[in-house]
């Protein structure tokens, strides 16, 4: 996962910087950035950003079709909702 700040949506209010418990959100050269080495992905910046400029980008290394994740006992047409979890350690 990577935290990013959309420069077009950011109004430089400082909410992300104030909300970040690790200090990963910082104003650098007139734009807010998230330091990936310090960020713990707590999503506080996302929760407090009034414009939605803070976002989370999930980088998926391998695509697994949803049909392979669902138990074969279920028919895909019967599934209305599915939750996919990512292992944060990998």
Tell me the domain boundaries of the chain: 2-61
61: tokens are: 């290394």
1-5, 9-13, 86-90 — which one is most confidently predicted on average? Answer: 9-13
Distance of CA 49 to the CA centre of its chain: 13
Q: What is the pLDDT of residues 22-67, one digit of tens each?
A: 999 998 888 888 888 888 888 899 999 999 999 877 655 666 666 6
In the three-class reduction of DSSP (H, G, I as helix; E, B as strand; rest coil), residue 16 is classed as: helix
Q: Is it the case that residue 20 has pLDDT exceeding 80? A: yes
Query: pLDDT category, 77, cuts 50, 70, 90?
Result: low
9: tokens are: 């949506």
**DSSP assignments along 27-86, one per residue:** EETTEEEE-TTT-----HHHHH-SSS-EEEE---SS---HHHHS-TTS-GGG--------
**Class of 2-61 per CATH?**
alpha beta
């Amino acid at each position: 996962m990577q935290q990013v700040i959309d420069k077009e949506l950011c109004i430089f209010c400082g909410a992300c910087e104030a909300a970040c418990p690790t200090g990963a959100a910082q104003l650098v050269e007139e734009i807010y950035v998230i330091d990936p080495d310090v960020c713990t992905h707590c999503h506080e910046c996302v929760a407090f950003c009034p414009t939605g400029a803070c976002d989370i980008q999930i980088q998926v290394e391998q695509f697994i079709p949803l049909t392979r994740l669902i138990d074969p006992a279920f028919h895909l047409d019967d599934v209305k909702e599915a939750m996919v979890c990512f292992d944060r350690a990998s």
